[in-house]
Amino acid sequence: MLRVENTPAQTTAAFSPALLAEMADMVSRYPGDKQKSALLPILHAVQAEQGWLSSEAMDRVAEYLKIESIEVYEVATFYTMYFLRPQGKYVLEVCRTGPCCLVGAEKIMDYIETTLGVKEGDITPDGLFSWRGVECLAACGFGPVLQIGPEYTFYENLTPQSVDQLIGDLRIKANN
């Protein structure tokens, strides 16, 4: 990959002072030769500020930690909690693993798609919602189940009615 050398100011230009301070604090918790161990929390912080992880943001994180961009990409693409494309304000993550499918997870995903009017990974026109299927959320006895980050609030035993209620509540919350 072609790497462009930037000055520190250019490297971090798109990150807010608050984010940079948070990143510095995270890095300071590790000894000098282990500072790339701060990669996961730094990616969380970047995503919390920017809503997703663009390749530019990941490149900046790599430069900040003095590691190769591919190391950041490998981590960001491995963990499903990192978003590699823009998302709605609320991301409904529905478990699509076997036990939840046995109790209707696929029908719930179909219902969410119809209700929101967007395909998996897309954003509603008002910018409020995205949805996607994810692997087991460790609530297998309470399926179908979904979670909504960044607090990762769980909603269990989903039905079309409870999905309607949830989406309605989130619309009200977003408008207040």
What is the contact surface with ligand FES in residues (CB under 6 A)?
A: 95, 97, 99-100, 136-140, 143, 145
Q: Residue 51 CB, nearest distance to ligand FES (Å)?
A: 25
Q: Residue 141 CB, nearest distance to ligand FES (Å)?
A: 8
Q: What is the distance, to the nearest Å, from the Cα of residue 113 to the centroid of all Cα atoms in its chain?
A: 19
97 or 162: CB nearest ligand FES: 97
98 or 117: CB nearest ligand FES: 98
- Going by C-alpha positions, the residue among 10, 32, 33, 36 that lies closest to residue 23 is 36
In sequence order, what are the residues at sequence separation of 6 or more whose Cβ sits closer than 8 angstroms to the Cβ of residue 56?
14
What's the chain's length in residues? 176
Q: Residue 103 CB, nearest distance to ligand FES (Å)?
A: 9
Classify 143 as helix, strand or coil.
coil
88 or 143: CB nearest ligand FES: 143
88 or 133: CB nearest ligand FES: 133
Q: Residue 128 CB, nearest distance to ligand FES (Å)?
A: 25
The residue whose two tokens read 């509603």 is 124
Q: Residue 93's beta-bridge partner residues?
A: 132, 147
Q: Residue 45 CB, nearest distance to ligand FES (Å)?
A: 27
20 or 140: CB nearest ligand FES: 140
Q: How far, in Å, CA of 166 to CA of 143, rounded?
A: 16
Task: Give the β-pairing of 153-155 and 146-148.
Answer: antiparallel
